[in-house]
Amino acid sequence: MKNFIKYLRKAIPETNFLRLLYHKIMAVIAAVYYRFPSEALTVIAVTGTKGKTTTTNLITNILSFAGEKVGMTSTANFQIGDKKWINDLKQTTLSPFKLQGLLRQMVNEGCKYAVLETSSHAFTQSRIWGINIDVGVFTNITPEHIEYHGNFNNYLNAKGGIFKQVTRGKRKFGVEKTLIMNADDPYFTYFNQFVSDRKVSFGLRNGNVTAKEIQRLADCSHFVLQVPNNSISVKLNLPGDFNILNSLAAVSVCIGLNISVEKIKEGLEKSSTIQGRFEHVNKGQGYNIIVDYAHTAESLENLLALYKGLTTGRLFVVFGATGGGRDKGKRPKMGNAADKYADYIIVTDDDPYEEDEWQIIDQVSAGITKKEGVNFWKIPDRREAIRLALTLAVAEDCVVVAGKGSEELMMVRGKTIKWNDKNVIEGLLERKIEVEILPNRFESRENVCLQS
């Protein structure tokens, strides 16, 4: 039976009417089975291409520190009240039964708010059908998942469909339908067309909520938060302008929910680094190691541009591109982003799924001009790729390992492998490794004596 189901999945395209109808039927059954739990919650849905996970976590943190009981689902983690756990399911938005089940748990635990990271796939596949969304958040839009959606307009409309769901949703007593939008984004006008009871815009250049007097540091950002009729100084424990934008999106949500500026400041300043997002790994190695989820050309470029400016030594990057037919067009662009900022590049596996690893690596490498074997290597084995970067790095250098963030699994040739970048890095740092670089290849000799 399992083999037959696998055959059907391969035979019928993901966007085929029958597949989408099946998803819709499952979503309806799930919503009915769990008795439409979203009706008892104020639901906040965060969508966009980048920054969804960070924004979702920041919203949750602010509301929690303001004394509210909150439930959350994101690519990286889950939360229901005080209970928190890692998302090891490799899904941004869960299947309808899992998602509706979590919402029912939130209601049973007395949560007032549900904060949901929401993907374009989730809308197209009806995973959020039957969820009455009260606050829609749009972080930014750049081309992604084009192979799945067919073209950029379809992708944009899927994101817009989430706002449309807010507009058409039934009003809950005392809860306004609110839209939160990035006023700096080129597609702001598209999202601003949707009708709601309240709109709040944010941005570094435009918007009702903005940041001024920005001080950019290696591990944090200082700025003056400006909201309508008020301003306050904030220290955000995340680096980079894109994280300031994520924080402004979270602030805008909480302004829309009438949380005080003082409580918002407290929530932002008490928020720590999110697992797999700009996460520092420190085992006393003397150089910086960053683990991040950047998996598009733009997010990788932003990440590397940030650490290039913060690094006095050399910048290393270890990354790959997702397989399974996902956004093949972005692969050489990712290579080009790395080529632009990194001193040393190692292209490796990400999640090749059933695609040929070497083919993906070659497609990424098409955007790289550095000389292979000198300051650029192709190493499919992700552990060996990371090992090489760690053995070459010295004091003042920075090693960025990008693409998987806090994910717990890797999909290789149809098999599911337990994997976590940070755990692998920490394991390698506990060993003394010597490496000899030879033309167009490398050989490593490992002394397995544990460091004291």
Q: Which of 152, 89, 145 is nearest to 327 (CA)?
A: 145
- Residues 166 and 117: their CA atoms lie apart, in Å, by 15
Mean confidence (pLDDT) of the chain? 89
Instruction: Give the pair of three-digit tokens for residue 196.
Output: 């709601």
**What pLDDT shows up at residue 14?**
72
Question: What number does CATH give the domain 279-450?
Answer: 3.90.190.20
Q: Please, how many CA atoms are within 13 Å of residue 121, restricted to the half-sphere of its CB?
A: 15
Is a pLDDT exceeding 90 seen at residue 12?
Answer: no
Condensed to tens digits (0 to 9), the pLDDT of residues 81-139 reads: 999 998 887 676 789 999 999 999 999 999 999 999 998 888 889 899 999 999 999 99
Domain ranges of the chain: 2-270, 279-450
pTM of the model: 0.82
Confidence of residue 441 (pLDDT cuts 50, 70, 90): very low
**What pLDDT shows up at residue 329?**
86
Please tell me the total number of residues recorded for the chain in this structure: 452
- Residues 127 and 132: their CA atoms lie apart, in Å, by 12
Instruction: Give the pair of three-digit tokens for residue 313.
Output: 């030594």
Is a pLDDT exceeding 90 seen at residue 378?
Answer: yes
Mean pLDDT of the region 272-301: 89
DSSP 369-390: -SPBTTTEEE-S-HHHHHHHHH
- Residues 202 and 9: their CA atoms lie apart, in Å, by 41
AA letter at 160? G
Range 2-270 classified under CATH 3.20.20.80: no
- Residues 142 and 345: their CA atoms lie apart, in Å, by 24
- Residues 317 and 339: their CA atoms lie apart, in Å, by 10
- Residues 39 and 170: their CA atoms lie apart, in Å, by 9
**What pLDDT shows up at residue 436?**
42
**What pLDDT shows up at residue 217?**
85
Rounded alpha-carbon distances, angstroms, from residue 55 to 83, 206, 265, 273: 19, 19, 15, 12
Instruction: Give the pair of three-digit tokens for residue 412.
Output: 């290789």
User: Helices marked H in 204-330 — which ranges?
Assistant: 241-256, 261-270, 297-310
Confidence of residue 10 (pLDDT cuts 50, 70, 90): low
Is a pLDDT exceeding 90 seen at residue 80?
Answer: yes
